[in-house]
Structure 1
C-alpha cells in the first residue's frame, strides 16, 4: 500500500508484557501468523493476515509496564514537526521522535484529555499492508469523556475536517482527510466503568462476528458490548485476557440506514 495521507491511521501496535500469550490469543481469534522483525531499537513481532503485515506486538514503553493496551499510529510526513504541533496545542510527548532503523520514525503522544496515540513517519515500512479484510485493521474511534478537548486538538494537529452525526442518542464525530473519513470520536457514557481512561478503540475485520466472539471468550476474553447490528456491520467490543479493549466487525452484515452528519468545521 502507498504511504497514506497525514492523519490517517496507518499502523497498530499491541503493547503487552506477555508477547507469547498475545500471539496465542490473537492468532486463534483473528487468524494471525507472526514473524520476528530484528531491529536495533528492541524486539518487534509483526502480526500478519494472509501473509500481509497488519499490526505489531511489542513490549510496553517505559512507565507503562503495568498496562496492556492497543495503540493506533497516525501518519505523518515529519514526526518532529508533528511533535511541535502536539505541544503547541496542549498535548504531551510520551516518547520523543526516534528513528527506527530504515523502517521509519515514531513518537508516542497524549492529547490534553488523556488519549494516547502514536505517530508514524514512513520509511521502508509504510504501515498496514492490507486493511478491511478478515484479521486486518478496519476502523478506529477515540473514546473520551472530554470530547470537546479531542475535537479541538486532533483537527488542529492533523488538519482534519469534522462532521457530527445527526443522532440525538449518541455524541459521535467523524474526522476526515480530503474526501475520506479516517477516524471517529465518541463520548464515553455511563456504560463504561468509572475510572476507565480514554482510549482509541481499534476494530478488526472478521468473517463472522459471533463466531469470533465465541472463540475469544473461550480464551478468557470479556464481552463489553454486542454482538449487535448496525449500518456499518455486525460488531462486538471485547476485553482481551490481558485487559486491553478491542472490537471486531463483520462489515458484510449490515442493518439500518447510515445516519446523516453535518459539517462542523
Structure 2
C-alpha cells in the first residue's frame, strides 16, 4: 500500500478510479478499507466517474499509531488530509467523512477551504458542536482487560469493533481523548463550501442532522432511513444521496 509522511508519521492511502478526486476519511476504530472499500463506497464512487482516495488516519489501519493524545487533535488530522492532497498533487477535492472522519472533514473545510470542493458529513450531526457525551466510557472500554463486565452499550460496541479490526486499543484510547473536540458554532457558520449532513434515522451518537445543516451556509440534511450509527456507513440510500450531491457540487464529465 502506498504511504506518505505527515508530521513525521507514515500514513497509508489507496487510490481507485479516475476523475474528480473524492478523499474518503474514515471513522474512529475503522480504516480506509473497512469504512469505504468493504461497504462498496469506493466501487460506487468509481462507477460514478470519481477518483476515490482512502486514507488510514493516524492511529488506525496500516498507518503509524502514536500513543500520545496530543497527536490526535482534529486540526492535526485535517492537516494529514491536506498533506495527502499535496503528496498527490491534487489542488481541490470533495471530502467524504464518516463520524470522526466527518469531524476531520469539517475542520479541514474550515481551515483549508481553498482545498475543499464540498463536504459530506456522514454520521455526524449536531454533536459536531455539542461534542460526544460517552467518549470517556469508550476510552474505559478500550482500556478494559476484556469485554467481560463492560455494560455501557456504546463502549461495548466500540470495543467489539476495535477487536474485530485488530486495532491498537491504546492508540485508539489516546485518539478518543482529543479527536472528539467539538467545533465552535461560529466556526461552523464560516464553513462556506457546499455540505451534505447525512445521519441515520436511528443514530443516537451523531446528533440531529437538520440543525447542523441550518448552521452551515450551504448545508443540506439527509436522514438515512432505519439505520443506526454503525449500520448507516454503507447504506444504499446514503450512497445515492452522496453521489447525487457530488453530481451537483463536483460534476464529472458524465454530469456536465
Higher relative contact order (CA 8 A, sep 6+): 2
TM-score, scaled to structure 2? 0.28
Structure with the greater alpha carbon radius of gyration: 1
Structure 1 length normalisation: TM-score? Answer: 0.28
